[in-house]
Amino acid sequence: MHRGIAFVTGGTGFIGSHLVEELLRRGYREVRCLVRNRLRWLEGLDIVPVRGDFSRIEVLWEAVRDADVVFHVAGVTRARDWATFAQGNITATLNLLGAVLEANPNVRKVLITSSLAAVGYCPGGVATETSPLRPISAYGRSKALMEQALQAPRAEGPPFIEVLPLVVVRPPAVYGPRDADIYTFFRTVSRGLCPIVGSGRHPELSLVHVRDLVRGMVDAAESDATTGQTYFIGSEQFYSWREIRDATLRALGRRALTLHIPPFLVEPIGTLVELAGRLTGTYPPLNREKAREIRHACKMCAVDKARHDFGYRQQIDLETGIQETIAWYRQQGWL
């Protein structure tokens, strides 16, 4: 297919930077990236930086005007208040889509990045694209409301889903080079302690390597079959925390003490960690809402629909992915 101009938001981040590399690898003629401050992981890549943010509509108009595909990856994953989540995940998305509709209504595809967190509580244990949205955290709620806003009538006319060629992608947990979230688990294990909630014996987690994810995202954007659809892009198998622990220890080449945390203690621990963060002026990766997600939210998703519609397959197995990720952390001095 003709690969012309791609516009990417969130390109300086973990997932976005890998997406930019995938677009360049596939031969897109031009890759534009919305950049607020530093280029970070985009430094040295053949991209066109677009300086600005989602509040500057004229910048968005210019960025999307002749783009063939738009990838919206930017978002807020951690915040102290609801207003920040709403601004970063709902308002920003609607501003971008408004700019696309006004400046480039004939765009070939617009891919919107949501999250498995939008589903939240899932009685069956494995989420599918038809699972109801019952988010547990403020982050998940903001993503669910963002998805619902795509379907809602606008004051200016029909819903965005009816007037633009949209596709929504919901990743589960994502790992790989440059990740700073699951990295905290690897760092803790590297220091000799492996915390696991419960026994850790049973498969309970979809965990996708970032390169599998971005390859699936580009495939979804390039497929004619995906317009108006929502997809999970994750691992094709579910992992237990023991599997993840063992692969991590092999990659590190060391042993660690496994600390089994009773599930009923997760939320009190999250509360204490959050209070400690407030006292020290930091925002730790574990808080009350994250603890509730760990205990109650669905962490597994089926990828059958993505496999059927655009041929998605997981290419990086857990062992290989963790080996590569640990090696990158060491190279960067993170471990």
Give the domain CATH number at 134.
3.40.50.720
Cα separation, 14 vs 20, in Å, equals 10
Residue 78: what residue type? R
Q: Token match 């930091």: residue?
A: 282
Q: Is residue 187 part of a domain?
A: no
Does 273 score more than 90 pLDDT?
no
Res 112: pLDDT: 99
Kindly indicate the confidence band of residue 1, based on its pLDDT and cuts at 50, 70 and 90: low
Phi, psi values for residue 269, rounded to 5°:
-65, -45
Measured N-to-C along each axis, helices 288-296 and 266-280 cross at an angle, to the nearest 10 degrees, of 160
Q: Which residue has the higher pLDDT, 268 or 1?
A: 268
Cα separation, 277 vs 316, in Å, equals 35
pLDDT tens readout for residues 53-95: 999 999 999 999 999 999 999 999 988 899 999 999 999 999 9
Q: Is residue 293 part of a domain?
A: no
Cα separation, 270 vs 20, in Å, equals 35
pLDDT tens readout for residues 123-171: 888 999 999 999 999 999 999 999 999 999 998 899 999 999 999 999 9
The number of domains in the chain is 1
Does 243 score more than 70 pLDDT?
yes
Mean pLDDT of 267-271: 90
Res 279: pLDDT: 86
Cα separation, 301 vs 307, in Å, equals 13
Q: Which residues contact 74 (CB under 8 A, 6 or more apart)?
A: 9, 10, 13, 16, 34, 54, 88, 92
Res 41: pLDDT: 95
Q: Is residue 13 part of a domain?
A: yes
Token pair, residue 231, equals: 């997809």
- Per the CB < 8 A criterion, the answer to whether 31 and 22 are in contact is no
pLDDT tens readout for residues 175-206: 999 999 999 999 999 999 999 999 999 999 99
Q: Is residue 260 part of a domain?
A: no
Mean pLDDT of 6-31: 98
Token pair, residue 186, equals: 């690897």
Domain span including residue 227: 5-172+208-235+300-315
Does 235 score more than 90 pLDDT?
yes
Res 7: pLDDT: 99
Percent of the chain exceeding pLDDT 70 equals: 100
Token pair, residue 135, equals: 């988010």
Mean pLDDT of 311-331: 98
Residue 324: what residue type? E
Cα separation, 160 vs 149, in Å, equals 8
Q: Is residue 91 part of a domain?
A: yes
Q: Is residue 247 part of a domain?
A: no
> Which residue from 160, 161, 170 is spatially nearest to 113, judged by alpha carbons?
170
Res 56: pLDDT: 93
Res 289: pLDDT: 83
Q: Which residues contact 185 (CB under 8 A, 6 or more apart)?
A: 195, 244, 248
pLDDT tens readout for residues 99-110: 999 999 999 999
Mean pLDDT of 224-231: 98
- Per the CB < 8 A criterion, the answer to whether 146 and 88 are in contact is no
Res 20: pLDDT: 99
Q: Token match 């012309």: residue?
A: 4
Mean pLDDT of 291-306: 93
Res 334: pLDDT: 97
Cα separation, 299 vs 158, in Å, equals 34
Does 285 score more than 90 pLDDT?
no
Q: Which residues contact 130 (CB under 8 A, 6 or more apart)?
A: none
Percent of the chain exceeding pLDDT 90 equals: 88
The DSSP result for 44-107, as a single string, is TSS-EEEE--TT-HHHHHHHHTT-SEEEE-------SSHHHHIIIIIIHHHHHHHHHHHH-TT-
Q: Is residue 322 part of a domain?
A: no
Kindly indicate the confidence band of residue 232, based on its pLDDT and cuts at 50, 70 and 90: very high
Q: Is residue 105 part of a domain?
A: yes
Residue 48: what residue type? V
When the pLDDT of each residue in the chain is averaged and rounded to a whole number, the result is 95
Kindly indicate the confidence band of residue 290, based on its pLDDT and cuts at 50, 70 and 90: confident
